[in-house]
Amino acid sequence: IEEDTWQKYYLEGVSNEMYTEYLSSAFVGLSFPTVCELCFVKLKLLMIAIEYKSANRESRILINPGNHLKIQEGTLGFFIASDAKEVKRAFFYCKACHDDITDPKRIKKCGCKRRK
């Protein structure tokens, strides 16, 4: 298939599925759009939603919530990706250890004491 044809993008799209993964504590306190941007630019992941637990522990799935929502510890993210291994990057990401990494495949579990 030729470069930049609709067929190429179509086949790439249909090879993806939805996966879930708990978000790294590095994202706690950040807004949903900020985490989405960081996941897309730094981790090469497309996050589309999160599981939100209210104060009384009721769980809801929120698709693209706005800036008002801040990520909490133990938040589950919903991603469009080609395999489950890719979305593990959202769990392992550590700003202290991975901030300067340009190849997202190198984002793996670190031995940093900052990680909970």
Alpha-carbon distance of 97 to 75, in angstroms, equals 21
Rounded to whole angstroms, what are the CA distances from 32 to 54, 74, 104?
16, 14, 20
Q: Edge to edge, what strands does the sheet with 76-81 contain? A: 17-22, 76-81, 46-53, 59-63
Domain count, the chain: 1
Which region holds residue 44: left if phi is over 0, alpha if psi is between -120 and 50, else beta? Answer: left
Q: Give the per-residue pLDDT at 54.
A: 84
Q: Is 8 part of a structural domain of the chain?
A: no
| 11-15 average pLDDT score | 89
pLDDT at 103 over 90: no
CATH number, position 22: 3.30.70.1450
47: domain range? 17-106
The answer to whether residue 115 is domain-embedded is no
Structure tokens at 8: 């190429």
Pair 114, 24: CB distance under 8 Å:
no
Please indicate, yes or no, if residue 37 is contained in any of the structural domains: yes
Residue 42 lies in a domain: yes
pLDDT digits (tens, 9 = 90+) for 19-43: 999 999 999 999 999 999 999 999 9
Q: What is the DSSP string of 74-89?
A: TPEEEEEES-HHHHHH
Residue 85 lies in a domain: yes
More confident residue, 4 or 75: 75
